[in-house]
Amino acid sequence: MARAAVSGGLRVRRAWRPAVLVERRAETPSASTLVLEVPGWPGHLAGQHLDVRLTAPDGYQAARSYSLAAPAEGERVEITVQAVPDGEVSSFLVGDAVSGDSVEVRGPVGGWFVWKPEDSGPVLLVAGQWLGLLGVPLLVFGIAVAIVHRRERTIELLALGRAVKQG
């Protein structure tokens, strides 16, 4: 079962752990990729996500889920965040967070739609846009497949979206 593919068990993956922002890269005017250093990160598979929790000085907490945006690389994880108007967490992560800021994360979460390096056969990735970014989890699938199989795999991507008025 895919959910058992990441070591540590459910208790470890569901525990909140400290994380430090190492880098924030602007992807678009309203989206950024954040690189977080997470001591003790158990690793993850393409298709999983993590929860990010912010705590205000008065103790108020807000948590949101974000797709992991890069293959596992030691204790560093990447998420790509689209700022949501009036979003408590996304607005801070995209607009205000700086290197050295601390947050809490838990995960990896999700095991139903993951890809493991030993999976074989052609890969078809289909992405649609709702709220957020188009196909971030699918990008990770594609990168993971390409790293493991180089040019030995056929990877097809079908991405659908709609224009959004910005005013």
DSSP string, 76-136: EEEEEEE--TT-HHHHHHHHT--TT-EEEEEEEE--SS-B-TT--S-EEEEE--SSS-TTH
The pLDDT of residue 162: 60
Distance of CA 46 to the CA centre of its chain: 9
In a domain, 94, yes or no: yes
Instruction: Quote the pLDDT of residue 27.
Output: 85
- 157 domain residue, yes or no: no
* Cα angle: 93, vertex 104, 5; to 5 degrees: 110
Residue 146 belongs to a domain: no
**CATH number of the domain that residue 9 is part of:** 2.40.30.10
CB atoms inside a 10 Å sphere around CB 132: 15
Question: Which residue range(s) make up the domain with 69?
Answer: 2-109
Q: What region, left, alpha or beta, does residue 47 occupy, with left being phi > 0 and alpha being psi -120 to 50 degrees?
A: left
Does residue 102 sit within a domain?
Answer: yes
Whether residue 136 is contained in a domain is answered as no
CB-based contact 84:131 (threshold 8 Å): yes
Total number of domains in the chain = 1
CA distance 13 to 109: 7
* pLDDT score at 3: 42
Q: Are 126 and 134 in contact (CB under 8 A)?
A: no
User: Does residue 165 sit within a domain?
Assistant: no
DSSP secondary structure string for all residues of 138-154:
HHHHHHHHHHHHTTSS-
pLDDT in tens, the chain (167 residues): 344 445 555 555 588 999 999 999 998 888 899 999 999 999 988 778 899 999 999 999 999 999 888 888 899 999 989 898 899 999 999 999 999 999 999 999 887 666 666 666 676 666 665 434 545 555 555 565 565 555 566 666 666 666 555 55
Alpha-carbon distances, residue 86 vs 43, 82, 114, 165 (angstroms): 32, 12, 31, 17
Quick check: bond before 85 cis, omega within 30?
Answer: no
Residue 164 inside a domain? The answer is: no
